[in-house]
Amino acid sequence: MSLECLIGIKFRDFVLVATDMSHLQSIMVQKSDDDKVHKLSSNLVMAVSGEAGDTTQFAEYIAKNIQLYKMRNGYELSPAAAVHFTRHTLATHLRSREPHFVNLMMGGYDPDTNKTELYYMDYLAASVPVQYYAFGYGGMFTISVMDKEFRPDMNQKEAYGLLVKCIAEIKRRFIINLPKFRVRIISKDGIKDLPNIIAEGEAA
């Protein structure tokens, strides 16, 4: 299990994705402004954790292929179709000499069905649609918070508050310091950045 933390929550009208901004190597923090959320299309993102080289290479490969599909066909893949392509790619590489050791979540909004989508996918290419999920040791402390507080009809302010509670729980109970989380919202209006969440007691 990873020291990094990815959190994804699906609501009726939007999806929230939050990732820690720390780039960790063993016991060292190498960066504190890392962006682990990759834009795949106008309404789809991928949050990735794992080996540093694998995460960057795999995310860029998936993003470029989804863009190539749009250029060839004139329309974007739906979130569900993009997830199937990603899972197939991960599974194919798993059975080769160049596997990608990445765990990821893909969240998006499908303008054709007007529905939000959130999928969890691990390095073994197991893929499951979820309402909410969290990767990493820090994520272990957030599932119970989301079990208790989550409602699919939350508005944006309430949803952001739920993320704040999750990250406060990580700060309180996890021995590793993950001081800052990047937050993005995906809706019919596209992908937007929300204010970073700073753990209580940390400098901005």
Question: Which pLDDT score is estimated for 50?
Answer: 83
Q: What is the pLDDT of residues 100-150, one digit of tens each?
A: 889 999 999 999 899 999 999 999 999 999 999 998 888 888 999 999 999
Residue 19 contacts residue 7 (beta carbons within 8 Å): yes
Q: What is the pLDDT of residues 138-184, one digit of tens each?
A: 888 899 999 999 999 999 999 999 999 999 998 888 877 787 899 99
Supply the mean pLDDT for the chain: 89
The pTM (predicted TM-score) of the whole model is 0.89
Question: Which pLDDT score is estimated for 137?
Answer: 83
Question: Which pLDDT score is estimated for 28?
Answer: 67
Q: Enumerate domains of the chain plus CATH numbers.
A: 6-198 (3.60.20.10)
Sign of CA dihedral 82, 86, 92, 97: positive
pLDDT of 203 above 50: no
What the block records as the tokens of 178 is 């993950």
Question: Which pLDDT score is estimated for 179?
Answer: 79
Question: Which pLDDT score is estimated for 204?
Answer: 46
Sheet holding 44-50, edge to edge: 37-41, 44-50, 102-110, 115-121, 127-129
Give the residue-averaged pLDDT of 37-57: 89
